[in-house]
Amino acid sequence: MKTIGCFVILLALFAACSAPVDETERKINDLLSRMTTEEKIGQLFQVSLDNTVDERALQAIREGKMGSVINVVNPAVANTLQKAAVEESRMGIPIIFGRDVIHGFKTLAPIPLGQAASFDPQLIHDCARMSAVEARSVGIHWTFAPMLDIARDARWGRIAEGFGEDPYLTARLGVASIQGFQADGQLADSHALAACAKHFAGYGAAEGGRDYNTSNIPPLLWRNVYLTPFEHAVSAGVATVMVSFNDNDGIPSSSNKELVKTILRDDWHFDGLVVSDWTSMDEMIAHGVAKDLKDVALLSIDAGLDMEMVSPAYLLHLAELVKEGKVPETAIDNAVRNILRIKFRMGLFDRPYTDTSVPPAFYTEESLQLARKAAVESAILLKNDGDLLPLSETQKIAVIGPMADAPHDQLGTWCFDGDKTHTVTPVGALKGEYRHINYIYEPALAYSRDKNTARFDNARRAAAAADVAVVFVGEEAILSGEAHSLSNLNLIGVQSDLLKAVKSAGKPVVLVVMAGRPLTIERDLPCADAVLYNFHPGTMGGPAILDLLFGRANPSGKLPVTVVREAGQIPLYYNHNNTGRPAPDKVTTLDEIPLEAGQTSLGNTSFYLDSGRDPLFPFGYGLSYSSFEYSNLTLPGQMPADGAITIKATITNSSRTDGTEVAQLYVRDMVASVARPVKELKGFQRVWLKAGETKEIAFELTASDLAFFGRDLVRKIEPGEFTVWVGGDSNAQLKGVFSIPK
Ligand code: NOJ
């Protein structure tokens, strides 16, 4: 027995010695073997500091009690703190500095929802790259972006911060963003930021769109929709993941072991760092699942959270929990390992300091041009009656409204570091590059919520004196973003009345919206001959909008979210499941219902009596100054169960204007073991077509694109019939079928 035991031990030792131990893991193990429990716990703590050197913080760092710092953006301060960590603490482990760099650091691209409207992964990549270069130059190593939450509710203010309602689009753009931040896999590059896939998970499904609220996402929806972008982010090598504030079905993500340990670590093999959200661990006391901070520490370490953002549960209680035998020291070791791994991968042990001899380059010509391109590609033309747009540069323009010259507000949410004095507003562009335009400017309202109508007459007179009125309305930056939910999505304040007043002057009206979310503008459409919708467009929004209004650029943005008619229609999204009683194309309206109509006389289908079946504008929708026609859909009749097919179609630009069309591929699994969405985006591409040009486009669709989680929570491809559509939005009409044989 003894001999067999020794033999087994020898065998294990031999296996351990002969297994190739990665050099980083060897270094991590070496550090761990020399760290005290207190020093290990210190690595798990992220502290928010301002931009001054605080003696208490320095002392804590020297004692090894701070693994990460959030919110320092002064490189000299960061270097001083780093020196205390690297040169004055016992273990010399560098600090990782984090900051929310969401759609830019100084130079701001459009908010992520706007960037999503471009359907342009390369653009999203480049914007993230630009943000990383700027942020890294002041000593930031880690950004808390991209936000990969699926948002099907525009009342939720954070819809601004993500890529919209669709898991496929969010996954593709999320991956592009991660690659941009992380310098295409070169995390050790001195211009890279570690990205953070957040908020894991289900945060966008907050009940009623009220931020931080509970979500109730059942297992299939969880896996088939809400987790999808995160899985792609992990495959793409995202360095870190942040858990969300919400509880899903009673389990706050900060204590969700199945989510973090089973799904993220075991199923997806994520070996990066998992961070809590800001005090999200502590907040489990308010959720009512922990009675005190000690309970919190136990729940979160057990769930697999590595780093605690800001609250001190780990710092205060982990050591005690280890002593009591409630937490194994190996749990702490694992968390430290995940944190050190990212510090090593970023090269922080070799290059802990920021070079302050080179002044940071902000707002460079190159960045400004990129921000302008991004704003152009992100704008969505929703209406253009009588081809009112583009305007001629010889027309006299009345420029009206509170968003025409709102340098702070056009930057949108999450711009801690952007400087509004660098913003170019539409009025700013008219004073600069577009100064040859003959225009009259009348803001009429001081800001979007302003209710003072005293200047409406001036606005009407300005419109009357011009050839065309362009009315800039929308939302101030503060009305969207974290904790900024709304229950009413109409244009806020008296902006709709302003539009009416301007329309009464009898001149053509262009409505330009700048907002953090899709607003319910149905009531405004009769007063606008053309509508150009911008999700807050960032630093260069002004010139970008003028480029579009005057036809120097051609709109190509498409809606990354459904635009509802009324907030009461929410949730309304294109990739819903069918009911057993889907409504017909034409449904009865309120006005059509006869008096004392019989109970069943309207039929029994699924729609609202007052707002119908359909949204105002569908997902994927957006016009252009060109017109595109789709034809010749060709596809093989069958796809092998482990293979792929090529779906081809022809697009013709039947107009006299060169332009870009975002061609979209949708698929429906017709009969499956569980109800599947009526349509799902499975491909898109931006196609540039000269006036009159025809091009053939091709989409590769693989069987694995059609896989989904069924009742047994196993991802599978089910044979059967599939319908495909190709077109310019989610109502695409070009239709074909194929099947996967049994
Ligand atoms: C709370 C937000 O939910 C999260 O997205 C952000 O990264 C942190 N605060 C840090 O500012």
Mean pLDDT computed over 499-511: 98
CA of 145 to the centre of ligand 1 (A): 9
Atom of ligand 1 nearest to the CA of 71: 11
Over the stretch 549-566, which tens digit does the pLDDT of each residue have? 999 999 999 999 999 999
- ∠ CA 301-307-309, rounded to 5°: 115
Task: Enter the tokens of residue 59.
Answer: 């002392």
Q: Whose CA is nearest to atom 8 of ligand 1?
A: 278
Q: 116: exposed, middle or buried (C-beta count within 10 Å: 0-12, 13-18, 19+)?
A: buried
Q: With a cut of 60, say whether residue 664 has pLDDT above it.
A: yes
Alpha-carbon dihedral angle through residues 211, 214, 218, 223, given to the nearest 10 degrees:
50
Atom of ligand 1 nearest to the CA of 198: 5
CA of 120 to the centre of ligand 1 (A): 26
Q: With a cut of 90, say whether residue 15 has pLDDT above it.
A: no
How confident is the model at residue 20, as a pLDDT?
Answer: 57
Task: Quote the CA–CA distance of 120 and 103 in Å, as a whole number.
Answer: 15
pLDDT bin (cut points 50, 70, 90) of residue 41 is very high
Q: Which of 278, 310, 415 to probe ligand 1 with, by most ligand atoms within 8 A of CB?
A: 278
Count of Cβ atoms closer than 10 Å to residue 34 Cβ: 10
How confident is the model at residue 16, as a pLDDT?
Answer: 43
Over the stretch 122-157, which tens digit does the pLDDT of each residue have? 999 999 999 999 999 999 999 999 999 999 999 999
Structural domains of the chain ordered from first start: 45-96 (no CATH), 249-270+278-345 (no CATH), 366-549 (3.40.50.1700), 628-740 (2.60.40.10)
Task: Quote the CA–CA distance of 514 and 160 in Å, as a whole number.
Answer: 12
How confident is the model at residue 3, as a pLDDT?
Answer: 41
CA of 104 to the centre of ligand 1 (A): 15
Mean pLDDT computed over 99-113: 98
The model's pTM: 0.97
Mean pLDDT computed over 376-381: 99
Atom of ligand 1 nearest to the CA of 161: 5
Q: Which of 68, 69, 242, 415 to probe ligand 1 with, by most ligand atoms within 8 A of CB?
A: 242
Tokens 């991968």, located at residue = 345
CA of 349 to the centre of ligand 1 (A): 26
Q: With a cut of 70, say whether residue 7 has pLDDT above it.
A: no
Q: Pick from 88, 95, 101: which is nearest to 147 by CA? A: 101
How confident is the model at residue 11, as a pLDDT?
Answer: 45
Contact 682 CB / ligand 1 (< 6 Å): no
How confident is the model at residue 6, as a pLDDT?
Answer: 44
Contact 277 CB / ligand 1 (< 6 Å): yes
How confident is the model at residue 9, as a pLDDT?
Answer: 44
Q: Strand 247-248 vs strand 251-252: parallel, antiparallel, or unpaired?
A: antiparallel
Q: Which of 50, 482, 484, 485 to probe ligand 1 with, by most ligand atoms within 8 A of CB?
A: 482
Report yes or no: 676 and 718 within 8 Å, Cβ to Cβ.
no
Over the stretch 86-101, which tens digit does the pLDDT of each residue have? 999 999 999 999 999 9
How confident is the model at residue 483, as a pLDDT?
Answer: 98
Task: Quote the CA–CA distance of 622 and 582 in Å, as a whole number.
Answer: 26
Q: With a cut of 70, say whether residue 18 has pLDDT above it.
A: no
Over the stretch 204-246, which tens digit does the pLDDT of each residue have? 999 999 999 999 999 999 999 999 999 999 999 999 999 999 9
Report yes or no: 639 and 647 within 8 Å, Cβ to Cβ.
no
When mean pLDDT is compared across 94-98, 358-362, 653-657, 671-675, the lowest value belongs to 358-362
Give the type of residue at 596.
E
The rounded percent of the chain whose pLDDT value lies above 70 is: 97
Contact 144 CB / ligand 1 (< 6 Å): yes
How confident is the model at residue 17, as a pLDDT?
Answer: 42
Mean pLDDT estimate for the chain = 96
Contact 212 CB / ligand 1 (< 6 Å): no
Over the stretch 558-598, which tens digit does the pLDDT of each residue have? 999 999 999 999 999 999 999 999 999 999 999 999 999 99
Q: Whose CA is nearest to atom 7 of ligand 1?
A: 144
Between 293-303 and 329-345, two packed helices, what is the crossing angle to 10 degrees? Answer: 70
How confident is the model at residue 13, as a pLDDT?
Answer: 46
Contact 158 CB / ligand 1 (< 6 Å): no
What stretch of H or E contains 180?
Answer: helix 167-181
φ, ψ of residue 334 in degrees (nearest 5): -60, -45
CA of 278 to the centre of ligand 1 (A): 6
Q: 422: exposed, middle or buried (C-beta count within 10 Å: 0-12, 13-18, 19+)?
A: middle
Q: What number of residues does the chain have?
A: 742
Q: With a cut of 50, say whether residue 354 has pLDDT above it.
A: yes
CA of 203 to the centre of ligand 1 (A): 12
Over the stretch 395-444, which tens digit does the pLDDT of each residue have? 999 999 999 999 999 999 999 999 999 999 999 999 999 999 999 999 99
How confident is the model at residue 21, as a pLDDT?
Answer: 63
Task: Quote the CA–CA distance of 274 and 421 in Å, as a whole number.
Answer: 37
Q: Catalytic residue numbers? A: 277
Mean pLDDT computed over 670-694: 98
CA of 173 to the centre of ligand 1 (A): 20
